[in-house]
Structure 1
Amino acid sequence: MKKILGALPLIIALSGCQSAAVTPAPRPAHSAASVISQEAVDGRTDRLVIDSPATGARRSVWVVKPSAWTAGSTGWRALYLLHGCCAGGGWDWLQTGEVAELTARLDAVVIVPEGGPMGWYADWRDGPAWERFHMTELPGLVEPRYGIGTRRAIAGYSMGGHGAFGYAARHPGVFEAAASFSGVLDTRSDVRGHRALFADYGLDTADVWGDPDSWAEHNPTDLVARLKGVRLYAASGNGTSGPLDPGKGPKDHTEASIMRQNLNFAAAAEKAGVEVTTDFYGDGTHTWPYWIRSLERALPVLLP
């Protein structure tokens, strides 16, 4: 297992054992997804609106083209970026312009889909099928439009890190590389915390993951063996104010909890013989400056 920047010791043991996968409820047949509109946000960025039967609504996706991209060109790699939970959405990745700047000279088209404020990158039992939207509807519409070939990477922060590793594990051969920045990588280590988070938004974890004994199919730590052969990058801070914070603040318990989950994931990966590049950088909070820095550091793994 590769480590950089003095990875913290593995102080939390992998908890529990794998459980049976949840079986999603049957879904009715749907009509095909379609692109409703496409508009240029700027010279390199387009916003597409997709009519998504899988999620039962029209959903936005932003596409950032590399500087060398031209209409009709083909063979581009794809980098999917997934957003976090609770507020905002895909545009959060792009609003500062840093992602566009970091990826301008790469031979990759960046695809940033909407994933719902509490979508959790899964097909809900009775609700939006986010995984089907991202893994079936979206690629079929967007990739041919922008000349993308067969090479893909995926990354995300917080809830999006959970989604990036989950998608890479459940869809073998689709992604060459996956990265998680402050990602939720071991939900089963904090069942009470995740139930409380969902309840804060009037939701129930049972609607997306079922009973806790069935969470394994959507828990990256339990799925780690399926990630063998995928280039992996995991980064997290410890919740103490760090060099990218505006000043000394109280302990960020969200990031501290996520660090423990990342340590669990790293321990499980080592046990399974799965190689992961880890950047457990010590002081740092659950905030944008660290995720942008992590993306920059992860790009050589995602798009070598």
Structure 2
Amino acid sequence: MERIEHRACFGGWQDVWRHESTALGCTMNFAVYLPPQAHEGKSAQKLPVLYWLFGLTCTEQNFITKAGAQRYAAEHGVIIVAPDTSPRGDAVADAESYDLGKGAGFYLNATQQPWATHYRMHDYVAGELPKLIEAEFPASERRAISGHSMGGHGALVIALRNPGRYRSVSAFSPIVAPSQAPWGEKAFSAYLGADRETWKAWDATELLKTAMERLPLLIDQGEADEFLASQLRPHVLQAAAEASGHPLTLRLQPGHDHSYYFIASFIGEHIAHHAAALRA
């Protein structure tokens, strides 16, 4: 690994690291915020980790520069890890649109070429990255996961697909039913093929119907979000949760849109939510 950024922040350090990913077959960046409790000599105890997943077009930079999360992570003693949204590099397949290819990995394992060679973001986020973090940083196996938009979809799906791996999960403006949304339909058709039955394994609404673990879901959604009706449709997940008896807290926030202004407004509450679960 190579550390490429190192900045003091709220008594801790906001770093960015680069490494060679086996799961993705390329070089990847990820951001790590180490709160003051992680400093050598201050605590011998390993700290819990919140994994943050980004939306379309983002890199590891968006959350660490716009969300204001470090202040709350320092307060609660939580490490935050934020990986990139897709594999990167000249050898990685791409498309000429923002919602497919680089920056749009959708946190799944692609089965169709040319995507299947590198696009295995589920295995990277759920498997390879936590092993790396827990081996190289003062991080415990107490994990939480959250994200925004496409990353909210990723957080929900990864938590539902991996029972027992996370203590808590939350999302901002998630794509809750990608099989029924233009963004998801485009990506799933390319990455997974035409058989819609295979899509269900990567759709939070579908996964909720058969989920064995009743991990409570916390979702914040802005009522002024420009993508609310066409792409996000949280009421679809709400109906599935009610039908299956799965615990869901869906908070509709008046006046808020899809931007990081929305995330910054409520990220403190989300980190407090995760911190409580991680301490339990």
Normalising by the smaller structure, the TM-score range is 0.7 to 0.9
Q: Which aligned pairs between 1:122-141 and structure 2 lie closer than 5 A?
A: 122-125=108-111, 126-128=116-118, 129-141=120-132
* Per-residue CA distance 1:224-247 (angstroms, 9 max, x = gap): 14274323201112336xxxxxxx
Q: 2:229 aligns with which of 256, 269, 277?
A: 256
Q: 1:76 aligns with which of 44, 47, 50?
A: 47
Q: Note the C-alpha offset of 1:293.
A: 2.0
Alpha-carbon contact 2:67-2:264 (below 8 Å) kept: no
Letter of the structure 1 residue corresponding to residue 117 of structure 2? G
Residues 1:96 and 2:66 are matched in the alignment: yes
Alpha-carbon contact 1:77-1:149 (below 8 Å) kept: yes
Q: Note the C-alpha offset of 1:282.
A: 3.5
Determine the C-alpha separation between the residues in 2 that align with 1:98 and 1:236: 18
* Per-residue CA distance 1:72-106 (angstroms, 9 max, x = gap): 73321100000001x23121001136121221111
Letter of the structure 2 residue corresponding to residue 293 of structure 1? S
Alpha-carbon contact 2:34-2:79 (below 8 Å) kept: yes
- Aligned-residue sequence identity (percent) comes to 22
Alpha-carbon contact 2:143-2:166 (below 8 Å) kept: yes
Q: 2:211 aligns with which of 226, 234, 251?
A: 226
Determine the C-alpha separation between the residues in 1 that align with 2:183 and 2:124: 27
Alpha-carbon contact 1:79-1:154 (below 8 Å) kept: yes
Q: Which aligned pairs between 1:32-111 and structure 2 lie closer than 5 A?
A: 35=1, 37-43=2-8, 44-71=13-40, 73-85=44-56, 87-96=57-66, 98-111=68-81
Determine the C-alpha separation between the residues in 2 that align with 1:226 and 1:279: 22
Residues 1:301 and 2:273 are matched in the alignment: yes
Q: Which aligned pairs between 1:146-157 and structure 2 lie closer than 5 A?
A: 146-157=137-148
Determine the C-alpha separation between the residues in 1 that align with 2:21 and 2:38: 27
Q: Note the C-alpha offset of 1:54.
A: 1.6
Which structure 1 residue ranges, 5 or more long, are not aligned? 1-34, 199-203, 241-251
Structure having greater relative contact order (Cα 8 Å, sep ≥ 6): 1
* Per-residue CA distance 1:186-206 (angstroms, 9 max, x = gap): 11223x55445x5xxxxx723
2:221 is aligned to 236
Name the CA shift for 1:195/1:150 in 2 (closer, same or farther; >3 Å). Answer: closer
Moved more, 92-101 or 53-62: 92-101
SS in 2 for 1:270: helix
SS in 2 for 1:151: strand
Determine the C-alpha separation between the residues in 2 that align with 1:167 and 1:115: 14
Determine the C-alpha separation between the residues in 2 that align with 1:232 and 1:300: 14
Q: Note the C-alpha offset of 1:141.
A: 1.2
Alpha-carbon contact 1:239-1:256 (below 8 Å) kept: no
Alpha-carbon contact 2:58-2:85 (below 8 Å) kept: no
Q: Which aligned pairs between 1:255-294 and structure 2 lie closer than 5 A?
A: 255-260=228-233, 262-294=234-266
Alpha-carbon contact 1:71-1:146 (below 8 Å) kept: no
Q: 1:184 aligns with which of 175, 189, 192?
A: 175
Letter of the structure 1 residue corresponding to residue 49 of structure 2? A
Alpha-carbon contact 1:237-1:256 (below 8 Å) kept: no
* Per-residue CA distance 1:233-276 (angstroms, 9 max, x = gap): 01112336xxxxxxxxxxx2x1333452x111111112111111
Alpha-carbon contact 1:180-1:233 (below 8 Å) kept: yes
Determine the C-alpha separation between the residues in 2 that align with 1:300 and 1:276: 17
2:106 is aligned to 120
Determine the C-alpha separation between the residues in 2 that align with 1:238 and 1:188: 22
Name the CA shift for 1:153/1:266 in 2 (closer, same or farther; >3 Å). Answer: same
SS in 2 for 1:124: coil
Letter of the structure 1 residue corresponding to residue 154 of structure 2? G
Which structure features the higher share of helix residues?
A: 2
Q: Note the C-alpha offset of 1:209.
A: 6.0
